[in-house]
Amino acid sequence: MPMTGRRPLETELARIKRETQHAPLAAAADRATTILHHTGITNDALRAGEIAPDFELDDAKRRCYSLADQINHGVAVITFIHGGWSAYCRANLAALTQAHSRITDRGASLLVISLESISQNQRLAETLGLTFPILSDPGGRVSRLFGVLYHVPAELVAAYLEQDIDLPSRQHSDRWVLPLAAAYVIDKNGVVRFAFANADPSLRAEPSDLIGAIDAITARR
């Protein structure tokens, strides 16, 4: 259940959207979001109450992380992002960085997943000073398992290229694919207790909602 009160990430994302609304990419992104909403793509995303698929992925330092290992030690928070080229994703990562100690103080772990290559993720982690792992999902295999992978609409592909955002190059892939803006809180049994997935990249799970979900899991014990 989303928490009420101060929601700094939501405020920051709204500011970015407002200040970039006249940028060349904005109109194409809005139309692409509408197209994706009409496809019902979020209906395929993993939902609360379902079992999360296990996975193994490498972080920016080529260390392997698995979901099974994370939930063996406590609750796991999983967040999917587009990449460091997205202002919305950078804001999301900044908010998670601020919340990271409150997550780990509760005995939970935080993993961020992107389709970007390990080298791209390493550059992003160093630039932002990330305190949590950012994992590379080659080809979107794990994103597909979570039901959040989608093909980028053709109009948005053209708009990205005009801004020198070449996703296949950044992802070391031959496809134009991205994950939805998504976040999950998964308990020690692998059950999803909080799920957020949206085709609009300007909407993200508020860290306070993730922490609230962790607290709710703890309260059940």
Place of tokens 């014990």: 221
Strands 134-136 and 109-114 come out as parallel
Q: What CATH number did the domain enclosing 84 receive?
A: 3.40.30.10
Q: What is the pLDDT of residues 38-50, one digit of tens each?
A: 999 999 999 999 9
158 C-beta neighbours (distance < 10 Å), count: 10
Q: Does residue 55 belong to any structural domain of this protein?
A: yes
Strands 134-136 and 149-151 come out as unpaired
Q: Does residue 91 belong to any structural domain of this protein?
A: yes
Q: Domain range holding 52?
A: 8-220
Q: Does residue 204 belong to any structural domain of this protein?
A: yes
Q: What is the pLDDT of residues 152-172, one digit of tens each?
A: 999 999 999 999 999 999 999
Which H helix or E strand runs over 181? strand 181-186
Distance between CA atoms of residues 57 and 135, nearest Å: 6
Q: Does residue 3 belong to any structural domain of this protein?
A: no
Q: Does residue 1 belong to any structural domain of this protein?
A: no
Q: What is the pLDDT of residues 50-91, one digit of tens each?
A: 999 999 999 999 999 999 999 999 999 999 999 999 999 999
Question: How many structural domains is the chain composed of?
Answer: 1
130 C-beta neighbours (distance < 10 Å), count: 20
Burial of residue 15 (number of CB atoms within 10 Å: 0-12, 13-18, 19+): exposed
Q: What is the pLDDT of residues 170-186, one digit of tens each?
A: 999 999 999 999 999 99
pLDDT value of residue 23: 87
Q: 148: closest CA among 191, 186, 200, 197?
A: 197
Q: How many alpha carbons lie under 13 Å from residue 114 in its C-beta half-sphere?
A: 28
pLDDT value of residue 1: 44
Q: What is the pLDDT of residues 93-124, one digit of tens each?
A: 999 999 999 999 999 999 999 999 999 999 99
Q: Name, in order, each residue with C-beta under 8 angstroms of 170's C-beta and a sequence gap of 6 or more.
A: 83, 85, 116, 117, 120
pLDDT value of residue 74: 97
Q: Does residue 94 belong to any structural domain of this protein?
A: yes
Q: Does residue 138 belong to any structural domain of this protein?
A: yes
